[in-house]
Amino acid sequence: MKKTISVGIIMGSDSDLAVMAEAGTVIEEFDISYEITVASAHRSPELVHKYVTTAKERGIKVIIAGAGGAAHLAGVAASLTTLPVIGIPIKTKSLDGLDSLLSTISMPPGVPVATVGINAGKNAGLLAVQILAIGNKNLESKLIAYKEKMNIEIKIKGEKLSEIGYKKYLASPVDDLRPREK
């Protein structure tokens, strides 16, 4: 039986892949299926149109779109569907991603794009999971466990910092500060 794809990840260029892969990694952690592709709002608008307008047929419930510079991909995607679209502004060389951020968040009334921070692939993946968890108790339970694990990790790091001081903490390998799996 073919697994239904729940999240579509689209990027304007393969140079965006490292950031977009962070979203995929988070989605995989929650055992959600996704697909990932490259299609540019400016260089291949017909691919974007086909991808977005056929997304529901493929079972997609959330689209994550990342682009840099003019960063119109998320807005174009949102204009073509009623599915929630999460935009990831990608950091650029010329303006450090501020151009991408402003383009992604500057949507006209009626075409909303949920926008995460610059290069925030992880948060985009988590937001997609949270959207999907609205009607899924199993997924909601996984999110609760995920957030509790973060809470415990921060508590352990705070205790370690208090115990050894900031100089030794900064000199310690990161792995020494993380809680051990039981």
Residue 16, marked binder: yes
Cross-strand bridge partners of residue 7:
34, 62
154 CB-near residues (< 8 Å, 6+ apart) = none
Question: 3-18 burial, b if ≥16 CB within 10 A, otherwise e?
Answer: eeebbbbbbbbeebbe
Output the CA angle 17-22-25, nearest 5 degrees: 115
Residues of each annotated binding site: 13, 16, 43
Residues of each annotated binding site for substrate: 13, 16, 43
